[in-house]
Amino acid sequence: MMAGYAVLRVARFLLLVGLPRMNRVFDAACRRCPRLAAFLDAMRMDEPEYYNLPVPPFGDPQAKLLIVGLAPGMHGANRSGRPFTGDHAGILLYATLHKFAMTTAAVSRSADDGLSLIDVRITNAVKCLPPANKPLPAEIKLCNDYLRAELEASRSVRAILALGTIAHEAVLRASNLRPAQFPFAHGAEHALSENLTLLDSYHCSRYNTQTRRLTAAMFEAVVKRGRELALAPE
């Protein structure tokens, strides 16, 4: 039931953004990375009630702020079929978005809970669950085609918030820019074009928040700045 709902949601998203099939931002049947495909096959045996497919972007197709994470978490997005839903990282992310009126609820419980995003969309650099939450460089590169297509289709996006170094570098590669010219740093802002800014944040993972590398106040400040950049008058 959950997987079927998510597939319908993906179809609706692709229809709204008007992408031709040859340039789609997402493929629920993708098996381009053999290791990731095999891992999802094994997950279907171990956790048959989980979503266990590439996880689609979620949010407003005409969003002005795009948030890019790393990859689905095993018991979060890979279970629910929605980015940052069901794991620790999503607690801070959705609560912060709600504080700045960018989501209709402060907690993302499941893909069919009725929550919606306002002027924001969430996607991942890697769409499939990686073993130990660590995608290989080749897998990040292969999946970058989907992020590139999403960026090309996202003409309304004014700001991109990258959660972590991998997401930061994935956005740059998808934009045909060299990561070495735009070093990652929490709170750093990078002008990718006249109307598009890349903003960096440490990932809102359990490890980063429990070690206080990233505090709630730090994350709120960077999300607030992302919202300001995204909604600034043209």
Q: How do residues 94-146 score in pLDDT, each as one tens digit?
A: 999 999 999 999 999 999 999 999 999 999 999 999 999 999 999 999 999 99
On whether the 2-231 domain is CATH 3.40.470.10, my answer is yes
pLDDT at site 205? 96
What secondary structure, in 3-state letters, does 24-63 show?
CCCCCCCCCCHHHHHHHHHHHHHCCCCCCCCCCCEECCCC
User: What percent of the chain has pLDDT above 90?
Assistant: 87
Return the exposure string of 173-204: e unless at least 16 CB atoms fall within 10 Å of the residue's CB, then b. bbbebeeeebebebeeebebeeebbbbbbbbb
pLDDT exceeds 50 at position 20: no
Distances (CA, A) of 96 to 27, 189, 219, 225: 29, 19, 8, 12
DSSP for 94-116, please give it.
HHHHHHTT-BS-S----TTS---
Residue 130 is classified by DSSP as P
Q: Mean pLDDT across the stretch 64-80?
A: 97
Q: Mean pLDDT across the stretch 30-51?
A: 97
Confidence of residue 19 (pLDDT cuts 50, 70, 90): very low
pLDDT at site 18? 41
pLDDT exceeds 60 at position 3: no
pLDDT, one tens digit per residue, over 176-196 is 999 999 999 999 999 999 999
Mean residue pLDDT across the chain = 91
Mapped onto helix, strand or coil, the DSSP state of residue 148 is helix
Confidence of residue 21 (pLDDT cuts 50, 70, 90): very low
In sequence order, the β-bridge partners of residue 163 are 201
Predicted TM-score (pTM) of the model is: 0.90
pLDDT at site 209? 97
Lowest mean pLDDT segment, chosen from 18-22, 81-85, 125-129, 132-136: 18-22
pLDDT exceeds 80 at position 234: no
